[in-house]
Amino acid sequence: MVYQTDFDVRYETDSLRIYLDEMIIGRGKTIVVGCEADIGKNKILNTLKDYAEKRGVLALTTTCTMQKDEKPIIDMLSRIAEKTLIPIKKDYITIEEVFIISKAGLMITHTSRKQINRDEQLTSGMLSALQDFVRYSFRGEDTTEGLARLDYADTTILIEQGKNIFAATVTQTEHPQVREDLKKIVGIIEEIYKDVLMSWDGDSSRFTGAESIIKAVMNKKYPTETNLEDEKKKIYNNVLSTIQTSSEKKPLLLIVDNMQWADKDTVDMMQYIVENIKDTRTMVCLMYRPEETNPVLNQMLNVLRRQRRTVEVKVEMRKRLDRYYGTDTFGPVFGVRIPKKYVKDFNEDDANNIIRKMEKINMDELRKRMISIYMISDTDYKEMKTDEFFDLLTKTVSPESKGKKEKEITSIEPSAVGKMIEELIMMTRRVLMQVSGKSGKQSAVFTIEGRGKYVKYRIPVTDPSGKMLGKLAIIPTIREAATRGHEPGTGLRIKKRDIKIQIKRRAMAGLIAVVMDTSGSMEEGIKVEIAKAFVKSLLVRAYEKRN
């Protein structure tokens, strides 16, 4: 079942669009998005991908899972790679070629796995010349020793000396058993063909059978231990090369979701990519759930923070909830905010406040469509099932203590009424006004018209006739047009989609309407006294604060 979240992620996606525009002009970016479960992550992803495609950016996505031996980054980049990202690993080496050469530099016999078009006598002469050069330059003319090894790229040539001949073999790397077998070949050939070697005239047909001796060794496989660090470097270089090559053709957006489940290999590879994309047209977006701990991921993020290589965006329920017992629905999740430092500090007063807050909600409907409930404090949170949450409320509030409190209350403290008024005021804060209102001191609001201090900006708002409301935000508008880019030699052109308007903050009067219930139930307890005290305190407060 798919749930559509009502979570507003406009501000987060606006920030990501700005970073994407900066990447397009060659400033590589890495964005780390910490997004709590079920509150809008897919909406962010889809919005960012749609915008990237409109800007001509190649967007690739992958997701980490809890399955072992998965390679999400390799799988994602394989779609655009021009070569295999993971080189074929062999746990053995083989002998590719064997040369048997006389001390005079003449080729006696040559055996190879592949058909090679090469002048054999020229090859034998060069190897013999190298032997003489090393012997005469560094060892002296009297020594019989010579060069033992040559290395070129990923090819190794091992050389073994005999009395009348020397053998050279081409392999991937030096292996002790290969050299032992090479010694045996030299010894066997010199023993079998010692009479021929004493008076050899250059006729290689006199060494019939030597090739079969060599092939017996060439058919062998020599086991080796794989150097994991070397293999890892090759893979990392292939991945980075693929990203650099692709970003030169087209700007690249790489989105890796659920990084909280990434294994160490994936995290290490991601760190290597992030540290090397600064000067490329590449934007990496890493998404994870902060509530699910991953020590390896946390270590990587700490390193990148110190290096100042990342920009962090946090999408949290607590940002969208009033701190004073705020409640709201986010798709299949119900968020409850309590003004406590820790969730474990939840007490009976908190339970009563939440119950009062939820009295206006259809509880039966809530139970049907909610999968889980998040109890959120200032620093942590707790996820609960619906039944578990309601059990907590009923257990915390005991009927005995509730009745006892009602009996103990004989008068209303002005501070308590003041707190009630403050809660009403908080409910009117952070409202985006589209029309100007009467000045006052009651609450700070955001408006796009009238007086006020310019604090931020947003996309334009129009009235029913299509006329834009508010005042133009000049600098954000110019910056938006500049990041979009323009052709050389032409001036900066501002289009309709670049326009931003000002958001102002001002203090406004707050209208509080008091509705009195005059039914018989109001006579119970001290409900009438509470209502009287509230109205009286409201009037006194309005007079004292001139509001």
What CATH code is carried by the domain that includes residue 103?
Answer: 3.30.450.70
| 406 occurs within a structural domain | no
Are residue 175 and residue 233 in the same domain, yes or no? no
Q: Which residue has better confidence, 526 or 206?
A: 206
Query: Which of 4-8, 223-227, 258-262, 272-276 is predicted least confidently?
Result: 4-8
Cα separations in angstroms, 396 against 279, 374, 542? 57, 17, 37
Q: What is the pLDDT of residue 255?
A: 92
Residue 330 — very low, low, confident or very high, per pLDDT cuts 50/70/90? Answer: confident
Contacts of 370 by beta carbon, 8 Å cutoff, 6+ apart: 329, 332, 333, 334, 386
Most confident listed range (9-23, 54-68, 508-522): 54-68
H or E element that contains 223: strand 222-223
Bridge pairing between strands 282-288 and 252-257:
parallel
For residue 477, CA distances in Å to 16, 51, 484, 496, 509 come to: 17, 18, 11, 10, 32
User: 174: exposed, middle or buried (C-beta count within 10 Å: 0-12, 13-18, 19+)?
Assistant: middle
Mean pLDDT of 333-350: 87
Rounded to 10 deg, the angle between the 41-54 and 10-24 helix axes is: 30
Tokens of 393: 């409320």
pLDDT, tens only, 389-403: 888 888 887 665 555
What's the pLDDT score for residue 426?
60
Question: What is the reported pLDDT for 444?
Answer: 67
Beta bridge partners of 336: 327, 375
Radius of gyration of the chain (CA): 39
CA 190 to chain centre: 64
Comparing 120 with 39, which gets the higher pLDDT? 120
Statement to judge: residues 242 and 297 lie in one domain: yes
Q: Which domain holds residue 292?
A: 10-87+229-315
Considering the domain architecture, whether residues 83 and 138 belong to the same structural domain is answered as no
For residue 511, the tally of other CB atoms under 10 A from its CB is 10
- Helix runs in 443-496, H state only: 474-484
Question: From CA 239, how far away is CA 245, in angstroms rounded?
Answer: 10
Q: Which residue has the higher pLDDT, 147 or 517?
A: 147
Do 102 and 187 belong together in one domain? yes
Q: Are both 43 and 160 inside the same structural domain?
A: no
Residue 420 in domain: no
Q: DSSP of 158-211, one letter per residue? A: EEEE-SSEEEEEEESS--HHHHHHHHHHHHHHHHHTHHHHHT--S-GGGGTTHH
Kindly state whether residues 235 and 215 are assigned to the same domain: no
Mean pLDDT, rounded, for 175-181: 87
Question: 284: pLDDT confidence band, cut at 50, 70 and 90?
Answer: very high
| Residue 494: C-alpha distances to residues 14, 271, 466 (Å) | 18, 38, 19
pLDDT over 70 percentage in the chain: 80
Residue 252 and residue 294 in one domain: yes
Q: Is residue 55 domain-shared with residue 113, that is, in the same domain?
A: no
What pTM was computed for the model?
Answer: 0.45
Which of 223, 257, 273 is the last residue in one of the domains?
Answer: 223
Q: Does the pLDDT at position 252 exceed 90? A: yes
Same domain, 166 and 187: yes
213, 246: one domain: no
On whether both 200 and 130 belong to a single domain, the answer is: yes
Is 376 within 8 Å of 335 (Cβ atoms)?
yes
Same domain for 207 and 108: yes
Report whether pLDDT(374) > 70: yes
Q: How many domains, the chain?
A: 3
| pLDDT given for residue 400 in this prediction | 57
In a domain? residue 452: yes
